[in-house]
């Protein structure tokens, strides 16, 4: 099984890193920051986005040292990725992420899992990775739930267990769009194919419908085929029309309907508006150049 990791974990899902030079060291800013934490975080992020790392790093460090979990997670991720003006240092990454985790940060739990999950990290520890992902997943973190699902499905760091894999995938798919529609489609395929678990048409169509109603074209076609097989020709026509199936297919369904039924379903098609299914990547994280690799 290949599970979609779309827009659920920046460090894991996206590798679009552009090189920029390291230009700053960890030190407190010369002027006192604004008392409002939200404003200070925004200032640090704005400086980082502008590649002004001599300003952003000290701001992040001061916030982190003052116990702000979001800043501690951000700084930990910077060190793990070797980005935004700092070289990769997983020891420091673990230090900052652990401080955030001690305050109950779910993002820190997941990020610690990512550090320990990295094969090229001196901190690589599959058992610790799974433990941190599990901790985050149990607190309803969708990214960790997907990662755990993959690990149980493939037997990576845990005994292979398709029941647990599907359990965590269903948990993740229950989250709001956009990621859930792709996971729902995966689940529909799992229950439809019946290769690794017993086939279950009822569960397959449940998940296909969830993805279809979210605007995923592949799922909409699966739903149309299901209704045609079940002789639900009104619904089949509706879904085939939405995916712009060939005219011969739509006409075959239309021939099974009365003029009133056809007029009604055509109106449904015209009135249907789906949320955009495309998922855009997060902004690229600038990879620090001039670091030992």
- pLDDT value, residue 178: 64
Which CA distances in Å does 7 have to 14, 65, 84, 159, 255?
8, 29, 20, 27, 42
- pLDDT value, residue 43: 93
- pLDDT value, residue 7: 36
Query: What's the CA gap between 123 and 130, in Å, rounded?
Result: 14
Report pTM.
0.75
In 24-36, which positions are buried (b, 16+ CB within 10 angstroms) versus exposed (e)? beeeebeeebeee
Q: Residues with Cβ < 8 Å from 103, sequence gap 6 or more?
A: 67, 69, 72
Handedness of CA 134, 136, 138, 140 (dihedral sign): negative
Point out the residues of the chain with pLDDT beneath 50: 3-34, 277-278, 280
Name the strand (E) or helix (H) holding 20.
strand 19-21
CB 147 within 8 A of CB 133: yes
- pLDDT value, residue 124: 93
Mean pLDDT for all residues in the chain? 85
Which CA distances in Å does 35 have to 52, 53, 81, 121?
21, 21, 29, 37
Query: What's the CA gap between 115 and 96, in Å, rounded?
Result: 12
- pLDDT value, residue 97: 97
- pLDDT value, residue 196: 79
CB 131 within 8 A of CB 148: no
Using one digit for the tens of pLDDT, what is the confidence trace for 172-214?
998 876 678 889 999 999 999 988 789 999 999 999 999 999 8
Query: What's the CA gap between 218 and 202, in Å, rounded?
Result: 18
């Amino acid at each position: 099984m290949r599970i979609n990791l779309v827009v659920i974990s920046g460090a894991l899902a996206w590798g679009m890193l552009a090189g920029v030079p390291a230009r700053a060291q960890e030190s407190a800013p010369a002027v006192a920051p604004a008392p409002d934490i939200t404003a200070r975080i925004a200032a640090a992020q704005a400086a980082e986005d502008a590649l002004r790392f001599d300003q952003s790093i000290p701001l992040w460090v001061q916030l982190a040292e003052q116990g702000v979990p979001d800043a501690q997670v951000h700084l930990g991720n910077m060190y793990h990725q070797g980005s935004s003006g700092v070289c990769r240092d997983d020891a420091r990454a673990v230090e900052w992420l652990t401080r955030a985790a001690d305050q109950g940060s779910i993002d820190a739990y997941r990020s610690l899992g990512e550090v320990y999950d990295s094969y090229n990290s001196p901190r690589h520890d599959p058992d610790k990775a799974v433990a941190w992902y599990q901790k985050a997943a149990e607190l309803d973190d969708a990214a960790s739930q997907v990662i755990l699902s993959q690990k149980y499905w493939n037997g990576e760091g845990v005994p292979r267990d398709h029941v647990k894999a599907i359990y965590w995938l269903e948990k993740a798919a229950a989250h709001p769009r956009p990621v859930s529609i792709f996971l729902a489609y995966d689940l529909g395929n799992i229950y439809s194919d019946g290769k690794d678990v017993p086939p279950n048409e009822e569960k397959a169509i449940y998940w296909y419908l969830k993805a279809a109603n979210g605007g995923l074209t592949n799922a909409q076609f699966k739903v149309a085929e299901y209704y045609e097989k079940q002789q639900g020709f009104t619904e089949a026509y509706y879904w085939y029309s939405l995916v712009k199936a060939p005219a011969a297919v739509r006409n075959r369904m239309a021939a099974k309907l009365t003029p009133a039924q056809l007029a009604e379903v055509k109106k449904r098609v015209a009135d249907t508006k789906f949320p955009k299914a495309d998922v855009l990547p997060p902004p690229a994280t600038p990879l620090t150049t001039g670091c030992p690799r």
